[in-house]
Homo-oligomer: A and B are copies of this chain.
Amino acid sequence: MDVIKVAATSRSTAVAGAIAGVIRETGQVDVQAIGAGAVNQAIKALIIARGYLELDGIDIVCVPSFVEVSIGDQERTAVRLSVEKREQEPGTGI
């Protein structure tokens, strides 16, 4: 399972490229961020990635959750954005 870790200093276009790449290959990717600055960069990257993937006819949705992660000997609460292709309604083409 791929996890893309995003920091407040991450470039959102670079993260967007990584998200789009994994989605094209596997259809699913988890994006993880700790702190407001990192969560903001992750969401911006996701919006940019939607634009990239739209060109390939791929629509994505995101399901956010909290996850506990260990950093050194500290427990931190991270935001995980589970990004996946949107389920299409059969026959409607939307």
Contacts and interface: CB of A to CB of B under 8 A. Distances in A.
Interface stretch (A21-29, A39-47, A68-76): A39-47
Interface residues of A, number: 25
Nearest to A88: B87
Given A62-B63, A87-B88, A90-B90, 17 more contacts: A35-B40, A36-B36, A36-B40, A39-B39, A39-B40, A39-B43, A40-B40, A43-B43, A43-B79, A44-B79, A47-B79, A50-B63, A60-B63, A61-B63, A62-B62, A62-B64, A87-B87
Interface of A: 8, 35-37, 39-40, 43-44, 46-47, 50, 60-66, 79, 81, 86-90
